Structure 1
Amino acid sequence: MKIILIVTGIILLAFIVVQLFAMGSQNKIETYPYKVEKKYEDFEIRTYESRLFTSVKLPSGNYKDVSSKGFSILAGYIFGGNEENEKISMTSPVSMSLEDSMTMMFLVPQKYEKSKLPKPNQSSIEFREEPSKRMAAISFGGWANDKKIEEYKDKLKNALELEGIYYTNKFYFFGYNAPYEVFNRKNEIVVELKK
C-alpha cells in the first residue's frame, strides 16, 4: 500500500511539473499577431498582420483523421527535418483550413525571410504568404474534435448573421496548446470577413 501511494505521488508530481512547464512555455511562444477591432458577446473582430506560414495539404476534411498526420509532417520540418537539420522555434496557433481537403499551417517565426528558410525534406511542405485580413473569432476550451468544431462554426455563423456581418466561406480552426497540456486549453474557429 505504501509503495502504491509513493508511486501515485511521484506520478502526480511529474504531471504537475509538466503542466507548469507547459503553461510557462506558452508565454514565450511567438503568436500570429492581430489587433482586436471590436468585441461582441460571443466573438470578436480582429485584423491579422500579413505573415509567412509553412503548410501541408491534407486529403480529408475530417479533423480527427488528419490533424495528427499534418502536425507530425510540419513538426518534423521545424524539429530539424530539413536540408540544414536546423531547428525552428514552435509558434502558435496551429491553423487548419476547414475545407473538403484541409491545409494545416504553422506560423514561421518573424526573424525568417522566405528565401532564407531551410528546404524541407518532405516535398508536401510549402511556404505560404498570407496577406493581412479581417477575421471574426469564437473561442472554446478543452480538446477539439469534429463535433465541437462544427458546433462552434455554426455558432459563429449565427452570431455574425445576427449582427449583419458578412463573412466568406474561408473558415479555420486555430489550436493553441500542445497535446499534453490539460489546463487552460484554448481553441478558436475563425472566418475571413467580406471586404
Structure 2
Amino acid sequence: MTSPVLVFTTVLLLTGCSVLGKRSAEEPPYTVREQSGAIEIRSYPSLIVAETVVEGDYRETSGKAFSRLAGYIFGRNSGEQKISMTAPVIQEPEGKKIPMTAPVLQEPEGDSWRMAFVMPEEYTMETLPRPLDKAVTIRELPPRLVATIRYTGMHSQRNIDKWSEKLKAWLDNEGYEQLSPPKAASYDPPWTIPMLRRNEIHIDVNDR
C-alpha cells in the first residue's frame, strides 16, 4: 500500500508544482480547431496512457487510482535502472523513471472511475516499460477530436457535473456529436490554491 507521504512527494517531484500552482509538467500536443470563451475544440494526435480502474465514486477512487499510477511511473515497472531521489522518503526505487505529464484524466465507468496518465511523447508501446502492478494497463489512444471547457476551483463531483452540462449544452447547440462521457482533466495537485487550479472537462466528438 502506498503511503500518503510517498504520493505527496512523488507528485511534487514529478510535476514541478508548488503550493501556489506553478507547473512544469509536459502536456500532450494539440491543435485548437475552434474556440468560444473557455471552450475549445482540440485535435489530439495518438497518445499512450497508463490507466487503472477503481470501483467507487469520484471522491473515493481518486487517491487509490493515483497511487497505483504514481507507483508505475516512479519505478514499479519492468525497467532495470535504479534511481536515487532527493526526497528522503524515496530512496533508489527499482525501475525506470517516467516523467509525469499533465493532465491526469478521469472518467466514470459503470460503478467505477478510470484514471489515466498520459505518457511522454518519446515513448512508444514498444519502448515503454511494463507495469508490475496488474491493475495498471497501457493503452494507445487513436487521434481524436476533443471538446474541452476550462475552469478553476475544486475538482469536485459537483463541479464536474456542472461544467460537463455546460459543455454538453454548447456541443448540442453547435451540432457536435458526442462520442464519450465527460472526462475530468486535472493539471495541478490537490494542494494547489483552488483559484489558481487549471481544471477541464473533455468530451470526444465527431467533426461537423
The TM tier, using the shorter chain, reads 0.7 to 0.9
Q: Considering only aligned residues, what root-mean-square deviation do their CA atoms show, in Å?
A: 1.8
Spell out, residue by residue over 1:16-69, the C-alpha distance to the aligned partner (whole angstroms, 9 max, x if none): x9436x51xx23x21121111011134111111111111112223x21111111
Looking at structure 2, the residues matched to 67 and 42 of structure 1 have their Cα atoms a distance apart, in angstroms, of: 25
Task: Name whichever structure is richer in helix by fraction.
Answer: 1
Q: Which residue of 2 aligns with 1:12?
A: none
Q: Answer yes or no: is the 8 Å Cα contact 1:98–1:173 preserved in 2.
A: no
1:55 maps onto 2:51 in alignment: yes
Task: Output the amino acid matched with 1:137.
Answer: T
Rate the CA distance shift 1:45–1:188 in 2: closer, same or farther, 3 A.
same
What is the 5 A alignment of 1:183-194?
Answer: 184-194=196-206
Rate the CA distance shift 1:18–1:136 in 2: closer, same or farther, 3 A.
closer
1:109 maps onto 2:120 in alignment: yes
Q: Answer yes or no: is the 8 Å Cα contact 1:42–1:159 preserved in 2.
A: no
What is the 5 A alignment of 1:91-170?
Answer: 91-100=101-110, 101-170=112-181
Give percent identity, aligned residues only.
Answer: 33
Looking at structure 2, the residues matched to 89 and 37 of structure 1 have their Cα atoms a distance apart, in angstroms, of: 28
Q: Select 2:100's aligned residue among 90, 96, 99.
A: 90
Looking at structure 2, the residues matched to 131 and 151 of structure 1 have their Cα atoms a distance apart, in angstroms, of: 28
Return the TM-score normalized by structure 1: 0.82
Structure with higher Rg: it is 1
Shift of 1:157: 0.9
Return the TM-score normalized by structure 2: 0.77
Shift of 1:180: 2.3
Task: Output the amino acid matched with 2:50.
Answer: T
Question: What count of residue pairs does the alignment treat as equivalent?
Answer: 174
